[in-house]
Amino acid sequence: MIKENLNSIQQDIPNHVTLVAVSKTKPIADIQEAYDAGQRVFGENKVQEMVTKYDALPKDIEWHMIGHLQRNKVKYMAHFVDLIHGVDSLKTLQEINKQAKKHNRVINCLLQARIAEEETKFGLSFDDIQEIVNDESFIELTNIKVVGLMGMATFTDNQAQIKKEFTSLESFFDTIKVEVKNNFELKILSMGMSGDYQLAIDCGSTMVRIGSSIFGARNYFV
Ligand X SMILES: *Cc1c(COP(=O)(O)O)cnc(C)c1O
Query: Which residues are near ligand X by CB under 6 A?
Result: 22, 24, 45, 66-67, 152, 193-195, 209-213
Pick the closer one to ligand X by CB: 17 or 105. 17
Residue 113 to residue 116: CA distance in whole angstroms: 9
* DSSP states along 132-180: HHHSTTGGG-TTEEEEEEEE---SSS-HHHHHHHHHHHHHHHHHHTT--
**Closest separation between CB of residue 42 and ligand X, Å?**
12
Pick the closer one to ligand X by CB: 195 or 204. 195
Contact predicate 115/123, CB 8 Å: yes
**Closest separation between CB of residue 174 and ligand X, Å?**
22
Return the beta strands (E) in 90-143 as ranges. Answer: 107-113
Q: Which residue is nearest to ligand X (CB)?
A: 211
Pick the closer one to ligand X by CB: 68 or 75. 68
**Closest separation between CB of residue 87 and ligand X, Å?**
12
**Closest separation between CB of residue 150 and ligand X, Å?**
8
Pick the closer one to ligand X by CB: 130 or 194. 194
3-class SS letters over 62-85: EEEECCCCCHHHHHHHCCCCCEEE
What lies within 8 Å, CB to CB, of 215 at 6+ separation is: 2, 5, 21, 22, 23, 26, 30, 34
Report the helix count and the strand count for the chain, using DSSP H and E: 9, 8
- The three-state secondary structure class of 53 is helix
Which amino acid, residue 152? M
Pick the closer one to ligand X by CB: 2 or 22. 22
**Closest separation between CB of residue 126 and ligand X, Å?**
19
Pick the closer one to ligand X by CB: 110 or 133. 110
**Closest separation between CB of residue 89 and ligand X, Å?**
17
